[in-house]
Chains A and B, each alone.
Chain A
């Protein structure tokens, strides 16, 4: 059973701080990793994708991947109250075209 693990949180940070979200996965063959943001009662929206070891930056977001440790993270700089949501880590299953999602980490950014 392929698993994706995330700390459910909530992770509370003050406005302007850096939020760090973490994810581990069990499928060593996975090559593609995604971070989604989901507001309560809404469907997920893609924030970042990462495929290679190292960092990938897009605006205030940085995804980090370490395949040897089977670890993916998402950093949000200058956190805003509007960033308050649940962040889902998703892993593309090796050999398939389906995604396995983690349970998500709830982020709360206080003004």
Chain B
């Protein structure tokens, strides 16, 4: 089946630093990628929809200047958490669409801990 690679799997950083998370579709071209955040025992909350070659569409309440998304190619999207703070600690998951919600493939997730 289709594979979406997400890196790193976990990261610990100091407050104020920036963290970049990569999401790659390994065997298909993903015109659309999605970034989710999940707090413990909570649902996946969509942060933004990333379209190749255009600006990301952010969900209400998500700061676009804090969570920078770049989708420079059909196989790579990146999420940069700028000036991370402890409240940004969460599980970040990307997903890539191979065409429709039925063909939505998830990355393995990134656990971010900000000290």
Contacts and interface: CB of A to CB of B under 8 A. Distances in A.
B43 interface: yes
Interface string A38-64: 000111111001000000000000000
Secondary structure call for the B interface: strand
Give the most central of B6, B34, B91, B101: most A CB within 10 Å: B101
Nearest to B101: A92
Contact of B93 (A8, A43, A46, A102): A43
A66 to B, nearest CB: 20
Give the most central of A8, A44, A100, A103: most B CB within 10 Å: A44
B42 interface: yes
Contacts of A88: 43-44
B101 A97 contact: yes
B113 to A, nearest CB: 13
A32 interface: yes
Interface residues of B, number: 22
B46 A98 contact: yes
Given A41-B111, A42-B109, A43-B109, A99 B104 contact: yes
Interface string A55-96: 000000000000000000000000000000000100010000
B106 A43 contact: yes
A43 B107 contact: yes
A39 to B, nearest CB: 11
Interface of A: 4, 8, 32, 34, 41-46, 49, 88, 92, 97-104
20 contacts: A4-B43, A32-B101, A34-B101, A42-B108, A43-B6, A43-B93, A43-B106, A43-B107, A43-B109, A49-B102, A88-B43, A97-B32, A97-B97, A97-B100, A98-B34, A99-B46, A99-B104, A100-B46, A101-B43, A103-B41
Interface of B: 6, 32, 34, 41-46, 49, 91, 93, 97, 100-102, 104, 106-109, 111
